[in-house]
Structure 1
Amino acid sequence: MADLTADAARQKASLVVFPEAFIGSYPKGIDFGARLGSRSMEGRDQFQRYFDAAISIPGPQMEHLASIAVDHGIYLVVGVIERDGGTLYCTALTIGPDGTLLAKHRKLMPTALERLVWGFGDGSTMDVVETPLGQIGTAICWENYMPLYRSHLYAQGVTLYCAPTVDDREEWQASMRHIALEGRCFVLSACQYLERSDLPADLDCREGNDPETSLIKGGSVIISPLGTCLAGPVYGKETVLVAELDRRDLARGKFDLDVAGHYGRPDVFRLSVNRGDGFP
């Protein structure tokens, strides 16, 4: 992460977005020995290794992430696997150029088998952060398919919509362009490029154990508020995408569509959000 951030900083980036679970890893193709009604001891051992690789916030790893932002005077959005007590969360951190943790968002709805290894987020970690660059908000992977969560980000005035993901399908690109057009915001989606050789050799991976097997093929993209692809998508290799964002495009887009404003019809529709921790 430090090397990639330095690369982006050399290209004059002010905001760098990393993929979902970039720190701690996305265990693609690993089932942790789970079947309906049973779990294996081998799977429990896999989870123990995954648990040990997660980070605590606060903690020494978090301090190191903050130092990367400080070293380059840059805003960072990064997906991490967070350990809190005995539970893991798929989390996105927003870190300021002074090292301050500006936001911590826990994925609200893990998808499919993710629910076995990650806990559920709640309404207390869904803030959009105001910065000199713009209002930074984050939706992790298939949270981007949750219309009411998107609406909550729009209602907070998000202009830099960050979408860390592992969804490398072509269909994902249609969703990212739709969100940019719907929210009239810049969308920065970061997706990993992951090969089998990047995971421990002794794991049995469903997609195959040939070291050159592509597990996650990338597809990072940067899109303007009018749906124009400014950079990417790029598949099949590691890369750093860079684009210059023209903030004037935000007002240009809101001219005829503001879903949280003049196009929202609050006399007909109302969004209710529980901003608490889920407990009464």
Structure 2
Amino acid sequence: MATLAAVTRELACHAVVGAIERQGGTLYCVALFFGPDGYLGLHRKLMPTAAERCLWGQGDGSTLPVIDTGAGRLGAAICWENYMPLFRTAMYAKGVDLWCAPTVDDRDAWQATMRHVAVEGRCFVLSASPYLRRDALPADLHPVQGDAPDTVLVNGGSVIVSPLGEVLAGPLRDGEGILTATLDLDDLARARFDFDATGHYARPDVFALHVDESARAAVTYRC
């Protein structure tokens, strides 16, 4: 944490980094936010996916930040949180401009989801997906895909999408690499002119979403 914070302070940049957080005896899948001022906060994954539920803790509404970078508002949805319509709606209502979507989902269907989120939220979507081969894992692990050293376990798929669904970079597959794109932030206003999911295109008289952003502790104390 200290090293990453030092890097973003030195470079005067922002970064969203996936990590494992340990609190007591519980592990959380998290997205960490850093900027020119160092560490800015985190988002804990609300719902572990499939077999992850055997191990990971669940986040609560207290870690759903959208951070104003000065140039745009930055938020994150971790992997299959991107499939949660009410999560997306809550983030749209906070005015997210730069939607970060770290994942290990390398399927073609994920690309469609990233373009959908961009068009629905009228935001830029930056999805990072790793490229992972068997030889990067310890020898005592045996992936279902096979044990040959060059077996590809996760085939990337990182992508950057505009607020109207145009793919600006990627998807990056078949090896490690870095995607870059120049974002025209004026595209945000252009895209929202005729569609704003929680603004002029909403119907609060028909649909309403209530979000509890309080921290939920198992034990509370009164004096």
Q: Do both share a fold (TM > 0.5)?
A: yes
Q: Aligned to 1:113, what secondary structure does the other structure show? A: helix
In 1: Cα distance, 2:138 partner to 2:70 partner: 41
Task: State the 1:261 CA deviation.
Answer: 0.4
Percent identity for Structure 1 against Structure 2 = 60
Match for 1:77: what amino acid?
Answer: V
Q: 1:267 aligns with which of 201, 205, 210?
A: 205
Following TM superposition, by how much is the alpha carbon of 1:211 offset from its aligned partner in structure 2, in angstroms? 1.2
**Pick aligned residue for 1:135 from 56, 69, 73:** 73
Q: State the match for 1:19 in structure 2.
A: none
- The question of 1:152 aligning with 2:82 is answered no
In the other structure, the counterpart of 1:198 is 136
RMSD: 1.2
Q: CA deviation at 1:255?
A: 1.0
Q: Distance in 2 between matches of 1:133 and 1:214?
A: 37
Displacement after TM superposition at 1:278 (Å)? 3.0
- Are residues 1:75 and 2:14 paired? yes
**Length-normalised TM-score, structure 1:** 0.76
Do residues 173 (structure 1) and 111 (structure 2) align? yes
Larger RCO (CA within 8 A; separation ≥ 6): 1
Provide the residue aligned with 1:118 in structure 2. Answer: 56
Matched with 2:124 is 186
Q: How far is the alpha carbon of 1:116 from its aligned partner?
A: 1.3
Alignment length, in residue pairs? 218
Please list, as runs of the form range in 1=range in 2, the aligned pairs for 1:56-95 lying within 5 A after superposition.
62-95=1-34
Partner of 1:240: 178
Of Structure 1 and Structure 2, which has the larger fraction of its residues in helix? 1
Equivalent AA in structure 1 for residue 174 of structure 2:
G
SS of the residue corresponding to residue 154 of structure 1 reads helix
Q: Of the candidates 107, 110, 132, which is equivalent to residue 45 of structure 2? A: 107
1:224-257, CA deviations, whole angstroms, 9 ceiling, x for partnerless residues?
0011000000111101000000011001101110
Letter in 2 for 1:208: G
Residues 211 and 71 of structure 1, relative CA distance in 2, 3 Å threshold: farther
Code of the residue aligned with 1:233 in structure 2: it is P
TM-score (norm 2): 0.95
What is the CA–CA distance in structure 2 between the aligned matches of 1:142 and 1:188, rounded to whole Å?
15
Unaligned runs of 5+ in 2: none
Which letter maps to 1:228?
Answer: E
Aligned to 1:215: 153
- Partner Cα separation in structure 1 for residue 120 and residue 86 of structure 2: 13
Which runs of 5 or more structure 1 residues have no equivalent in the other structure?
1-61
Give, as a single letter, the amino acid of the residue that structure 1 aligns with 2:27: L
The Cα of 1:201 is off from its aligned counterpart by 1.7
Structure 1 position 79, deviation (Å) = 0.5
Aligned to 2:35: 96
CA spacing shift, 1:267–1:92, aligned 2, 3 Å? same
| DSSP-derived class of the 2:211 partner | coil
Listed as ranges, the matches of 1:221-236 within 5 Å are 221-236=159-174
- Range with bigger deviation, 65-74 or 258-267: 65-74
Give, as a single letter, the amino acid of the residue that structure 2 aligns with 1:207. Q
SS of equivalent residue, structure 2 residue 82: helix
Per mean C-alpha deviation after superposition, the further-off stretch among 174-183 and 198-207 is 198-207
Aligned mates of 2:40, 2:212 — CA distance in 1: 20
